[in-house]
A = this chain, B = another copy of it.
Amino acid sequence: MSGKHIDTTKSNEEFWKELGIDIEKHDELMKVLPEVFENVYLTQKNRPKSIAYFDKFIADIHGARPKEVVERKNNGDKVIGAFCAYFPEEIVHASGAVPLILCGGADFPVADAEKVLPRNTCPLIKSSFGFRTSRTCPYFLSADLLVGETTCGGKKKMYELLNEYTPTYTLHLPHKKDDVEARKLWLNEVKLFKNKVEELTGNKITKDRLNDSIIRVNRKREVLQELYDTRKVNPLPISGKDVLLVMQLAFFDEFDRFVEKTGELVKELKGRIKRGEGIAPKDTPRILISGTPMTIPNWKLHDIIEKSGAVVVAEESCTGMRYFSDLVDENSVSTNAQLKNLAERYLHINCACFTPNTERPEDVVRLAKEYNADGVVYYVLQFCHEFNIEFAKVERALKEEGIPVIKIETDYSQSDTGQLKTRLETFIEILRASKPKIHTGKHLTSVKHPASVEIA
C-alpha cells in the first residue's frame, strides 16, 4: 500500500480490501480467533477490571489499531515492522515512524509458508512469513520496511525471502557479546540502522528527539516491570495469561496510551494486593516460564498450565522480561553516547543466540527465586536449536538449586494439546506434593525458596 491514501472511516472489510488483504483467507482466520480468545481468556474468573482495555484491543486487533497506523501513514509517517527484542524501537520512535513487532503466533498461515519454507522450521518463522505471503495481516501490509536480525539461522535466511515481498533490512547481531570487536560491530549496526531510518523517513534523528524517545520507551519498560512486580505476591493478583496479553500488545499498541492503560492495571492490582485478593488460592503452584517467545495468539502453554491447577508468575522470554529488563541511560551528552548506550542496553538481552550465554541460566535461577516459583516450564518452539540445546545448562543450574523443571517443545498446532496437558498436570502434581499446605493467613513459604515478597 506504500504511499497510497486509504480511507480509514469505512468498515473493516472495506479497509482491509484497500490495504490488499486476501479477504477470503482473512475471513477464515477471523472466524477462528474470537472463539479461541473466548475459550482462553473469557472463561477466567475474577479478572481485574482494567484488563477490559486489552480485551477490547484484541477483539478488534485487525481493525481499530491498523486503522490508526494507516492514518499515521496517510499523514506521511512511515511504518517499520520487526520481529525481535533486539529491534531498537527508540530509533524508530525518534524518527517519527511507527514501530510494530509483527504477527507470528498463529498456526493459520503456516500452511502458506510451507509452500516455500521447509516444514521442519520453527513455527514462529513460518507463521511470520506466512502472514506476509498469505496477505492476512494488516500490520504486515502497512509496513514500509521490515527489520530482521541474525538471532538464528532460520530467521536470518527467511528474511532474505521476505525481502522479495516487502523491503527487509537485517540487523547484524553478533554471536558473542563479550569481545571488543563484537561490541563495535553491534554499535555500528545501531548507527547504520539510524541512518537507514533517517533515509526512509526523511527525518533527522536529533539528540533531543532520541532522548525523548529513550525516556518514553524507558517508561514503557518501567510500567511493565511494575506489572511483573505485582506477580511476586502470593496470592497472585492477575493470571499469567492476562499478563501475557498485555506483553503481546506492548508491541502493537500506541505508545503513550499503552503506558497509561498498563499503569491503570498496575494500580488496580496494587489495590488487590493490599486487600489480599488473588486469582487463585495461596497454595496454587507457581510456574516460571523460560524460553522462546509467544506472540499473538499463541496462548497455548499458559492456557494449559493455568487450566491444570497452576499459575504462571513470570516469563523469562522476549515476550516477557527480556523485553523490558534494563533501561537506557537518559543522560547521554551526545548522539554518539546515546547510540552507545542503546547498543549496550540491547546487548544485555540474554538470548540463547549468544555463545557463551552463561548469564541466562543464572537469570532463570534468579527469577525463579524472585518470583517464588515452585517450578520452571522450559518452553521451546520446535526446531529452535539455540534454546533447545541451551536447556542442558539451564536444567543443570536449576537442579543445583533444587528447582524442578520440565521442557516442553511444541508448535502452534493443537495436535499435542492432550499430551502436553497430561505431562504438565503430572509436573504440577509433583510441585503441589512438595509444597507445605497453607492453613494460616500468612504468606506461603515454599520448601526451598525465600518467602514471598509483598509489594504495595
Contacts and interface: CB of A to CB of B under 8 A. Distances in A.
A118 B387 CA distance: 10
Report the copy number of this chain in the oligomer. Answer: 2
A230 interface: no
A160 interface: yes
A385 B121 contact: yes
A116 B386 CA distance: 14
Contacts of A118: 385, 388-389, 391, 409
Which of A159, A173, A175, A390 has most B Cβ within 10 Å?
A: A175
B383 A157 contact: no
Contacts of A116: 392
Given A150-B175, A182-B172, A389-B121, A160 B356 contact: yes
A31 B227 CA distance: 62
Contact of A188 (B173, B181, B389): B181
Which of A174, A182, A185, A382 has most B Cβ within 10 Å?
A: A185
Interface size class of A (residues with CB under 8 A): 35 or more
Contacts of A120: 120, 382-383, 388
Contacts of A179: 172, 188
A161 interface: yes
B389 A161 contact: yes
Interface in A153-195: 153-154, 156-161, 170, 172-176, 179, 181-182, 184-185, 188-189
B184 A153 contact: no
Nearest to A407: B118
A160 B117 CA distance: 29
A5 interface: no
